[in-house]
Each structure stands twice: as structure tokens, then as C-alpha cells.
A and B are shown apart, each in its own frame.
Chain A
Amino acid sequence: MKDGPAPGHRVVVTGIGAVSGWGWGADELWRGLAGGAAAIGVPARFDTRRHRTRLAAEVPPSPNGLAASVPGWRRLSRADRFAVAAAMEACRQAGLEGDDARGFDLGVFFGGSTAGMAECERFFHGLTERRRARISLLVSHPLNAPGDAVARLVGARGPVQSLSSACASGALAIGAALDALRDGDVAMAVAGGADSLCHLTFAGFNSLRIVDAEHCRPFRRQRQGLNLGEGAGVLVLETLEHARRRGARPLAELLGAGASCDAHHMTAPHPQGAGAALALRSALGDAGVAAGDVGFVNAHGTGTPQNDAAEWRAIEQVFGERARRIPVTATKGAVGHLLGSSGAIEAVATVQCLAAGAAHAAPGDGGADEDLGVDLVVGGARPLAPDCVAVSTSFGFGGANAVLVLRGWPR
């Protein structure tokens, strides 16, 4: 250990929820991750025929009965639905169903980058084609819509914050929840992010030529770019005292969070990973954890040549010689890049790895790019110590960086 942790309450994760290309649920996500395959293919609902590349990790149709269990489901955007489904699941696991969760001590902290853009595109298409469009398609267009939908669902009366800082949004939202919990502004928080596939991001990332026409291959030599995904990840966070008081079982401890900015370029990362390293150091300092204590990295790992190389340089700077011996995985290889919510679903995946005592493998064949030296988890899960300290990294457009530090909760 180096510096002491940031003052305030200890914060634990007591519930997780997820919607991903593997399905509607955290169990579905973990089964997919543990299986070592990718939920990436040619989408059925989302038409990619006119785009430069075809693949994405599309969320399958929702399970029977879900729509009926959520008030106002019909009016929710696709991203809203992912958000509320993941939040319901997380609250259920945390034992917060019904009126237990409702109150002034509950906050919602949510990140995302597209919100109701998919529905907005339908609106715009109608306006362009027929000069007529249904205004109701825009109800969930604002970027606060998924977080607000979750807040309505859980009956939150405390702070509700929506953040949109590109691909760092979800992790930044979880970091904001950590601050609020430490300060005593809330006793519980629902934190995460949600995003859905849409033509704007699909065409936009393709225009930058950073989408892999094949399955993405984070940290592999042949990597060509990312695959987009959609879904949501949600954590229920609460102070340790609060969890103990109500008999909730922690799944992991959220030790710290850090944020930084490259201040370098709108889309390209700093080539030496300077901003990413700053966020890593900031998060470790906030957590009161030394670099030598970290036993697992769930990397941002988009699969683009530049990003992965810059991220590796950041990891090397922070962890030094040990960097080559820390297991690194990349959840995006399995569920695609969920953009603003990627940090949220990767936080869920990190908690799952810690709870299972195993880092999931990055899907695909072959080892890591030898030029990088990363100890990529491939070919099967890698065991983790019960009290392993893990970091989950998120680096976004505009140089926005966010890192979370989590520790396994001994079973």
C-alpha cells in the first residue's frame, strides 16, 4: 500500500445487472465471457448492409414478460430498456426490490453516449422522407433519458446525474457515485450506463476507419479495429456500513476511481499513453493501492492498433517491469464496444471475474502482439486471488480517461 485511501466511507458492490450481446442478464454475460467466445455477428435488427463493415454485438430480443414488468416500457427507447432491465436485475440481486430502495438516500449516476439516437434516426428518416415524423420518438432522445428512466424505476429521490464523456462515461458515472457515497450524500447508488446501436455511431466509427471487418482482436498483432456493441451495465453501490446493516452480501469493494484527459487530440490517444497513465495513477492513489498490489487489468482494449498500443504503454509506465506479468483481458473482444456504457459493463465483468476468482479470456485465436508484451488472458480463464485488486480502464474520444479500482470480497 502507498497513500491512504481517500477519506470517507468504504463502498461495496452489492448487485450487478447487465444487458449485452449475450442476452438480458449478468448470468448470460458471465456464461458468454466464461465460454471464451464472442457475441459478435451480423445484426438482425440493425441493418448494416449499407455500411463499410457488417459486424456488431447486437442484443437479442428481450425475454418474455420483461416488457410487462416495467411501467411505460413501450415509451422507452432501446437504450432506456437496456438501462432499466440491468438496473432491475442489479437491485434484485442487492435485495432492493419494491419500496426498500425508494428514498432520499438513493442516487443514480449514469453514463452513455447515444441515449435515444436510434429512435431519433427513425424520426429523422420520417422527416426526410415524408416531412412527417412522430414526435414521441424523441422523448428519450436527451442524454439524461436512460439515467432518468432508471431513477424513476428505482424511485430515487437523491442526486441523479447523467454524464456523457464518450467512452469514459460509464466509468466516470461510477466514479461520481463513489464520491457521493464517500461524502455521505447518498447511502446507496445505482450506477452504470447504457447505449444502443445506431447508424450515426456505426457510420461514424467506420468513417474513421477504426472498425474491424472481422471479429475485433484486442491486443493481437492482427488487430484492425473495434466492433460496436450495445447493452448496459449497472452496479448497486452502497457504503459498507449500510450493506452490513441490512445484511447485504458484498460482491466486491470499489476502492477508488481516477480520471484524466489526454488534452492531445479529438480522437487519437496520446501515443505514449500519458493521459491514460495519469488516470491509472490517480485511481490507484484514490484507492490507496500501490501499483504492485494490482493483480488483474480489465483493459479498455478496443482492438484498434493505436489505442491498444497507447494503453499498453500506459500500463507499462504505471506497473513497470511487473506489467508483463499482470493478467490483462479485454471484455470488448466478447461483447463489442458499448461506447459510453463500455466502462459500466466492463465494471460488471470485472466484478464477475473477482467474484468467480477467474479472469475471463479475451476471445480469439493466438497470443498477444509480441511488440506489446501484454500478458493477455487467452485460451481459458486465469485464476485470481480471492482478494485480488483489479483495475478497469476506459478511454474515450476527446481524451477523456477514467479508471476504476476494485477488490474481490473474500467469500
Chain B
Amino acid sequence: MSPSSSRPAVVVTGFGAVNAVGCGREPTAAALASGTPAWSEVERPAGYHRRGGGARLAGLAAGHDLSAWVSAGAARRMSLGSKLAVAAARMALADAGIVAGAEVGGKPTAMVFSNAFGPSMITEKILTQIESEGPLAVSPALFTESVANAPAAQVAIVCRALGANVTVTQREAGALIALARAAGEVARGRAGYALVVAVDEVTPLLHAVFDRFGALSRPDAGGEEARPFDRRRNGFILGEGASALVVETAESAAQRGARVLARFLGTASAFDPEAPATGWGSDPAALTPALERLLARAGDVDAVVCGASGSVAGDRLEARVLKAVWGGRPPRGGSGGEARPLPPLLAPKAVLGEFGGAQLAAAVLALGGAPCGRTPGFSEVDPELGVTPWAGGALAPSSLLVSSLATGGAAAWAVLARAAGTFTPSPSPRGRGE
């Protein structure tokens, strides 16, 4: 959504997260502050990983106890993605001071989710049923949860959300496209508030397929680690989890007396038609005009929450795009076109793994004043890229760009800004069983 001067300002008032490092704001903030990932070994029963030294690690969230947010009865009917989404959504609602099921401002509630591959585990189970027992054996309960919008539907039922229910499936760019759509829903007055949830799950087979495509970091190619922008990077580490944001107008937040976590200043997206279906393009010029227009509207930023994950081609393209934009834009108020130093580059996927929710979490936490730690895995500048991700230390950005370049050619960016006031950790999310 292009910011329009006639449109109301949009803010983020609630945050929830489940990811590899734990459930909620505190473990996520702590892991990002210390730069400490929590990788787990992936089971490899399918036997489809690369032979020899294929990838072994992922940032898995499936083992967390979600009973505070999802009852055992409800959990039995849900895919992993739905469970993660419901848990994160309930945390975000509690954080925003909204009772699940209540409307804000007398308007319906919108759900805008992102999801790269849908409920992969359910899909695999159904295909296994078809292969082993025939199509008549397919479970209707499984099929119901096999659609990509199942998490959005489950959360809508929890929240009695009668507004638009949209699931964006634009790979890595999906979370920011979802945020933009949610901002549009509330700014246009269609919804009292919108829940943005970026949710992804990792299955052993999905992990194996990424391994076969050569996308994952692996031990036989210099060590298995996510190394954003590093010269030795050799792929990313898949992550799973859900990040949820409550988005509403500033006016609505003020009327409710809600604490504002971040202000939404604008978004942009673009596509490189020369990019291959399984990778990234190589020409930053395909993407930079949209980003330059966004920054011209939204103003300078103090940091960038990058999508860099350790992908050889993806990190290269992102570095080129950022350098092209910062190298070509005049400083605020200036008339020249001289290059300026890049702002600090945060790379949260080094901690949380490659999934859509990683950047939303990092952005909201950083703007709330949570410490931004070092980028684990980075030790050597890639001379081809010439960029260095954040090494830790004091950083209190008043505004930041979130950048996400997707496999296949899509790209999306958003600018978020700090709210007035300082970060105050909210109480632990209050669970509520169904």
C-alpha cells in the first residue's frame, strides 16, 4: 500500500512469537540480543537428503509446549502451522490488550497471513495415505487442514474475525506483503484491527528437498551454519515458527489507550522477471526503483532488517540492492548524489532461521529498544559484497527498513518507526484454552 496523506496512520500494538528459541517476546529478544541460535537436528527418514554430508540442522519450534495458548482438544485438530499461528496470535492479542473475539471500533477484524509452502506435514500425510492405502483412505480431518489458509481460518475462528481473511504465499516476501495488506485494511477503514501472522513449518522432507536444491548450509561445504553476507556462506538454515502483529490505526490505538510498539510508514514491492524460479536474479536495477521511491516517501532509516540468511545468491542480491540505493541517494536535505555509508544491517535469520516471521519479530523488538546482538556466523567480509552485518553493541533505531527478496524474483520492503516512549516488557502472555 502506498502511504496516502489522506489515510490514517497505522501502528503496531501487539506482538507474539513462537520460533526455534522459544515462545513469546522474551526468549526471542534474548536470542537476538545474544546472537544465539537454537538449531536442532532434523530427522531424515525419507532418505532424500544429499548423500554424505547433507544438511542436518533447522530451527524447529514443534517441540514447544503450546498448551497455554492451544488446548489439547483443539491441537489435535490442527496442523503444526495452525497451532503455532494460534499461539502467536493469542500472545499478540494479549500484548495489545484485545480480548479474542472482540471487535475494535465496531469494525470486523481482518486476518492477513503469510506462508511459503502451506501445511507441508499434512500434505505429506495425505500423499502417504494415497500411496499406501489408496485415495479412499484419505482422512477428511487431514484434508481440512491441508489448505494454505488453514492457520488463518483457525485463528479467525478463535478471534471471531469477520473481516478479510487473506493468506499471502509469496515466499520470503510474503510476510511484508501481508503487513502491507493489513495496513491497507485498517487504513481504509475495512477492519478495526488486523492480525498479521507469518507462519511456516519445516518437515523432514521439505528440509531434504531444500538440501537437494543446494539451498541449505551443510557440513561438507565448510560447516553448517547460517552466515549472512559472509564470504564463506554456503546456504541458509531453515526455520519454523510464527510471528504475529496486531495492526490498527493510530487513532484506534489512542482511543483504546493501547501501547504502540511501532509505526508503519510505508511499503513497496517489485519483481525481477529475469530471476529464475528457484533462485534470485542478479540485477539490482530491477528492484532498486521501488525501494528508492519508498525511502523517498518514508525518509531515511537508521537500520535495515535484512532478509540475508546465508544464501549465496540471495545475500549477494540484497547487498547489491542496498549498496545501489545507498550509493545513489542524496542525503536528506542534500542535493548531491554521493554515496553514504550503509546503515547497520541486522540479519535475524542467522538466529531464527529462514522463515517469514523472523524479520517481523526482529523489527518490532529492535524498535521497542530490545538490544540487537551480533550476527552469529559472520566472521569474514565477502570482498564481492563489501558489507558487514551488525556486530552487536548499542543500537536504538528510530526507524528501520525491513528488506525481503524472495526466491523467484519478488521483493518487498517496509519502513517501520519507533513509537514515542521506551520499551517496557509486557507481562508474560496470558494463555487461554479453547
Contact = CB atoms under 8 A, between A and B. Distances in A.
Contacts of B143: 200, 203-205, 207-208
B169 A159 contact: no
Interface in A171-222: 172, 176, 179, 183-185, 199-200, 202-209
A54 B139 CA distance: 19
Size bin of chain A's contact surface: 35 or more
Contact of B136 (A52, A141, A266): A52
A139 B269 contact: no
Contact of B156 (A75, A138, A398): A398
A135 B152 contact: no
A222 B167 CA distance: 34
B106 interface: no
A121 B146 CA distance: 14
B290 to A, nearest CB: 7
Interface stretch (B12-20, B124-132, B322-330, B387-395): B124-132
Interface in A140-196: 140-145, 147-149, 151-152, 154-166, 168, 172, 176, 179, 183-185
A135 B129 CA distance: 21
Contacts of A263: 156-157, 159-162
B138 A207 contact: yes
Nearest to B169: A143
B42 interface: no
A184 B209 contact: no
Given A149-B277, A398-B147, A144 B170 contact: yes
B184 A165 contact: no
- Report which residue of A7, A102, A152 has the largest number of chain B beta carbons within 10 angstroms of its beta carbon: A152
A282 B190 contact: yes
B47 A124 contact: no
Contacts of B169: 142-144, 162-164
B162 A261 contact: yes
B423 interface: no
A156 B145 contact: no
Contacts of B162: 260-263, 275, 278
B144 interface: yes
Contact of A261 (B118, B164, B188): B164
Contact of B163 (A113, A148, A206, A259): A259
Contacts of A135: 209, 212-213
B270 interface: yes
B280 to A, nearest CB: 12
A133 B48 contact: yes
A264 interface: yes
Given A142-B408, A143-B118, A264 B163 contact: no
A207 B213 contact: no
B60 interface: no
Contact of B167 (A127, A165, A265, A401): A165
B165 A398 contact: yes
Contacts of B115: 164
Contact of A260 (B6, B108, B134, B160): B108
A152 B409 contact: yes
A148 B146 CA distance: 22
Contacts of A168: 165
Interface string B376-410: 00000000000000000000000000000011111
Interface residues of B, number: 80
A142 B2 CA distance: 27
Interface in B108-131: 108, 111, 115-118, 123-124, 126-131
B149 A164 contact: yes
Q: Summarize A's interface: helix, strand, loop or mixed.
A: mixed
Interface string B242-277: 000000000000000000000000000111111101
B171 interface: yes
B135 A176 contact: no
B38 interface: no
A175 to B, nearest CB: 8
A242 to B, nearest CB: 16
Interface in B146-188: 146-150, 152-154, 156-157, 159-171, 177, 181, 184, 188
Contacts of A264: 157
Nearest to B409: A148
A164 B167 contact: yes
Contacts of B117: 141-143
A339 to B, nearest CB: 9
Interface in A283-331: none
Given A113-B148, A151-B273, A207 B140 contact: yes
Contact of A161 (B150, B177, B289): B177
A55 to B, nearest CB: 15
Interface string A205-243: 111110000000000000000000000000000000000
Given A127-B48, A144-B169, A261-B164, A204 B146 contact: yes
A400 interface: yes
B166 A165 contact: yes
Given A50-B134, A164-B169, A261 B161 contact: yes
- Report which residue of A133, A144, A149, A259 has the largest number of chain B beta carbons within 10 angstroms of its beta carbon: A144
- Report which residue of B1, B145, B278 has the largest number of chain A beta carbons within 10 angstroms of its beta carbon: B278
B147 A164 contact: yes
Contacts of B144: 208, 266-267, 397
Interface string A96-132: 0000001010011000010001001100110111010
A215 B341 CA distance: 66
A264 B166 CA distance: 16
Among all A-B residue pairs, the 9 with the closest Cβ atoms: A398-B153, A204-B143, A203-B135, A259-B164, A143-B169, A261-B165, A164-B148, A160-B271, A203-B138
30 contacts: A102-B273, A121-B127, A142-B117, A144-B171, A151-B410, A157-B286, A159-B269, A160-B410, A161-B170, A161-B269, A162-B169, A163-B169, A164-B148, A164-B167, A165-B165, A166-B147, A176-B181, A185-B2, A200-B146, A203-B126, A203-B135, A203-B136, A204-B140, A208-B144, A261-B161, A264-B157, A266-B157, A398-B150, A399-B165, A401-B165
Given A159-B177, A398-B152, 12 more contacts: A147-B170, A162-B168, A164-B148, A203-B138, A204-B146, A207-B143, A260-B164, A266-B153, A266-B154, A275-B162, A278-B162, A400-B152
